[in-house]
Amino acid sequence: MHDPRKSHMIAAKRILRYLKGTLEVGLLFPVGTNSAWSTLIGYSDSDLCGDITDRRSTSGYVFKFNNAAISWCTKKQVVTALSSCEAEYIAGTFAACQAIWLNSLMIEIKCEPVKPLILRIDNKSAISLAKNPISHGRSKHIATRFHFIREQVTNGMIEVQYCPTEVQLADGFTKVVKLDRFEFLRRSLGLVVCNSSMN
């Protein structure tokens, strides 16, 4: 917003064209509950140095409950990551903060999810870093605030799981994807074409 360019206007117009062309697409929330779905499952992803101006990475997450997307976000990271492991670890911390907040919100509305909260990440090194409380060479330069995820894993609040890139639902939040991949991700998030004649 402080330094608008032509490329930003082109991107904004593209988003508006997409929204105009998909007015009939909406989120479908299932009726009733299924005990198998009562887990809050998060998907966290990151690109590496995606911003060509300052080489910062983009974090993205999506959380599903009862098999429906309830929270999602994309945000440029506040630091420049030195590796894909670090970028994914920072994105995981970003998602872990949201998971803890969603948990407290759901407790408040009497809809407590099953513990531990699950966070799926497609980078095995970032998962190892989150599970290993011992600081070593590849993590000593990471700012202390990004170790929040490690604390949540250690106390059993969050369980990090490996998720192959092919089924990483946050993938579309961090990078450009092909049309078939985009449509797969959209369906997987619970976005469906709604009949406009329905009330």
- The alpha helices in the chain, defined as continuous H runs, are 6-21, 84-108, 124-131, 148-154, 179-188
Span 154-161, average pLDDT: 94
Give the mean pLDDT of 24-51. 82
pLDDT at residue 51, as a whole number: 86
Strands 191-193 and 25-27 turn out to be antiparallel
- The residues near 13 (Cβ < 8 Å, ≥ 6 apart) are none
Q: Give tens-digit pLDDT for 40-65.
A: 999 999 999 988 888 999 999 999 98
Q: For the chain, how many structural domains are there in total?
A: 1
Mean pLDDT of 175-181: 92
In this structure, is residue 109 part of a structural domain?
A: yes
Is the model's pLDDT at 18 over the cut of 70? yes
pLDDT at position 199 is 46
Handedness of CA 104, 110, 113, 114 (dihedral sign): positive
3-state DSSP call for residue 103?
helix
The answer to whether residue 153 is domain-embedded is yes
Across all residues in the chain, what is the average pLDDT?
Answer: 87
Percent of the chain with pLDDT over 70: 89
Domain span at residue 93 reads 6-193
Q: Is 156 within the bounds of a domain?
A: yes
Percent of the chain with pLDDT over 90: 57
pLDDT tens track for 78-107: 989 888 999 999 999 999 999 999 999 999
pLDDT, one tens digit per residue, over 131-149 is 876 655 556 567 677 888 9
165 located within any domain = yes
pLDDT score, position 105: 94
199: in domain = no
Residue 178 is classified by DSSP as -
Cβ neighbours for 106, distance < 8 A, ≥ 6 positions apart: 40, 65, 112, 113
**Is 180 within a domain?**
yes
Q: Which of 66, 26, 61, 67 is nearest to 45 (CA)?
A: 61
Could you tell me the CATH number of the domain that includes residue 116?
A: 3.30.420.10
User: Does residue 198 belong to any structural domain of this protein?
Assistant: no
DSSP characters for 42-97?
Answer: EEEEE-SS--TTT---EEEEEEEETTEEEEEEEEE-SS--SSHHHHHHHHHHHHHH
Given a cut of 80, is residue 198 above it in pLDDT? no
